[in-house]
Chains A and B, each alone.
Chain A
């Protein structure tokens, strides 16, 4: 029973992180560390709620969220690749700017402070018939399964192939790994980077849409609660490899899902919440320690 619920919750909690992390890892493979994922998720969530309410359909909402995310991503990328802005500061600035713009719109247009409740918000549909819930252990998970979770895991399966075996995938990896080589071989390195940032925006937008439309059906300024940074932690820890990153996301999602239960067990949820970040720190230390051992003369 409890395992049943826990798995379902973990899978649901994983999806938004997973989507953002998949976008972010492609972006990082192309050489851009995307600190603005958080903001783009927020844009996605907001767009999804508004469009869902207007159109009464989840699909247009999800698509618009993804498009809004990729548009923001593209603009962000242009600032980095064309105006040579520092990607870290620009990313932090983008998060502040987006929070400002969304808060502004919320306040001024919707006359709401912080939380946006709209009528007729269509949630993501469950794809499988509710009879699946009788299956032991994974029944609840299957019952809750919605299109974005399926899409997220399909992308985990597809990305390794796409990155390895398509021209664009190869170009993405070159422009991140050795931009001077891309230039020397006459590849459009900056365009490829711009595409990858728009791609990251697309996925972050989807992640935001999932946060808003998976169950709650409303938008809140604090909805993402640092998930963009958790995604960042995930692909740093997963070393930009889709499957490894997905496993890390699953771990983070599981931690997220157990937080509430841990609290009742007496474990402080706030401290549990720091585990993803500590893991990344540890991973970075190990990498640095190994490199420094290799370098030093005997």
Chain B
């Protein structure tokens, strides 16, 4: 135990912790770098270009934030469940249904409702999202139906329903294929920094993260859900109802995911279209995993992945490097975020005596 008396010892845990947090992303960057080397590009140059393209100017920064907006919602929705130990992978489906619900309200309600359409559309989106994830929540709480499979299956059902609606009853008469009509202009979320597509949904997203932080730190139910995540047996023995907690977090998750879909429909696309979400739910999962469910981490992570997405697009334009690099990084982050880090630590912990 003589080697544990180094003066730098106090820093080790902190370094170790930050290394653990950054580990999946570092691996992903390394994988990306290896691929770039293979195709004969200098990874440092490419990463520098990507950083430049994500944050180099106000215009680029706002593009990054715009790309980060849906992720704020989906990662919060995922984190709510993950910290409770509920493996909800159905955020994607709730997001899509929230989107089509908000769009529906946005173009159906008469214009004389004015800007009241926006809160109504958001409310409907949240309601639909919450109701959607209430199903697997109930099945898990009441009948112990494995939530991974049920939410995974429900995603596809959600895609089917929205796909049917957008090609059938809600199909736009003017624009042709696979899109709904545009929402009324008054129902569109204001752009924050035109001509960038950054819209007020970003603010809503930040508010959602803030509300999540408040829920985590300051509410009894947030406290309870954390305890359930730590140990169901313990939580039960101190009087917490496991089924009620499971249903609550599923509903909250669906609510947030629905809001996210609403924001994307009202702020970004101004309608619902086939391919509404290129996997925001799954990227949100990567963000939540990377952030270990912490609110601040979620903001950072969303912006990080937003940056990847927005810079990826322009990097592809200016060089030969395909946008798919972003997917490679995202997939690697997801895989390495769940690798058991107990075995891969920077500094071996000294044994407590």
Contact = CB atoms under 8 A, between A and B. Distances in A.
B326 interface: yes
Given A229-B156, A271-B160, A108 B322 contact: yes
Contacts of B320: 108
B163 A288 contact: no
Contacts of B232: none
Interface string A87-131: 011101111111111111011100000000000000000000000
B168 to A, nearest CB: 6
A276 B149 CA distance: 13
B136 to A, nearest CB: 9
B153 A271 contact: no
B331 A93 contact: yes
A287 B149 CA distance: 13
Contacts of B89: 88, 92
Contacts of B328: 97, 100-101, 104
A288 B325 contact: no
B145 A83 contact: no
Interface stretch (A57-65, A153-161, A170-178, A278-286): A278-286
A4 B168 CA distance: 30
B145 A100 contact: no
B160 A104 contact: no
Nearest to A226: B156
A35 B149 CA distance: 10
A276 B289 CA distance: 30
Given A100-B326, A100-B331, A281-B153, A270 B145 contact: no
A288 B136 CA distance: 12
A292 interface: yes
Contacts of A273: 156, 160, 163
A146 B150 CA distance: 35
B320 to A, nearest CB: 6
B324 interface: yes
B289 A94 contact: no
A268 B340 contact: no
Interface string B117-134: 000000000000000000
Nearest to A89: B338
B164 interface: yes
Contacts of A289: 143
B309 to A, nearest CB: 12
Contacts of B279: 96
Contact of B148 (A88, A98, A104, A274): A88
Given A84-B339, A89-B338, A92-B89, A288 B145 contact: yes
Interface string B24-63: 0000000000010001000000000000000000000000
B285 A89 contact: yes
A21 interface: no
Nearest to B343: A83
A97 B328 CA distance: 5
B324 A99 contact: yes
A79 to B, nearest CB: 6
B145 A93 contact: no
B139 A268 contact: no
A184 interface: no
Contacts of B142: 288, 292
A271 B166 CA distance: 12
A274 B156 contact: yes
Interface residues of B, number: 53
A93 B333 contact: yes
B69 to A, nearest CB: 20
A291 interface: yes
B340 A83 contact: yes
Interface residues of A, number: 48
Nearest to B158: A274
A92 B282 contact: yes
A97 B35 CA distance: 13
B156 A277 contact: yes
A236 interface: yes
B103 interface: no
Interface string A214-236: 00000000000010010011001
Contact of B338 (A86, A95, A101, A226): A86
B207 interface: no
B156 A84 contact: no
Contacts of B144: 288, 291-292
A85 interface: yes
Given A100-B330, A274-B160, A288-B143, A79 B149 contact: no
A83 B327 CA distance: 22
A281 B154 contact: yes
Contact of B330 (A89, A96, A229, A268): A96
Contacts of B39: 108
B161 interface: yes
A278 B327 CA distance: 29
A278 B157 contact: yes
20 contacts: A84-B343, A89-B285, A93-B286, A93-B332, A96-B279, A97-B327, A97-B335, A99-B331, A100-B325, A100-B330, A102-B324, A103-B322, A103-B324, A104-B324, A107-B323, A226-B156, A274-B156, A274-B160, A281-B154, A288-B144
Leading 3 A-B pairs by shortest Cβ distance: A97-B331, A100-B327, A93-B334
Interface of A: 33, 35, 79, 83-86, 88-90, 92-104, 106-108, 226, 229, 232-233, 236, 268, 270-271, 273-274, 276-278, 280-281, 284-285, 287-289, 291-292
Given A83-B339, A93-B334, A289-B143, 12 more contacts: A93-B337, A102-B324, A104-B328, A107-B316, A108-B39, A232-B152, A268-B164, A270-B160, A284-B146, A288-B142, A288-B143, A288-B144
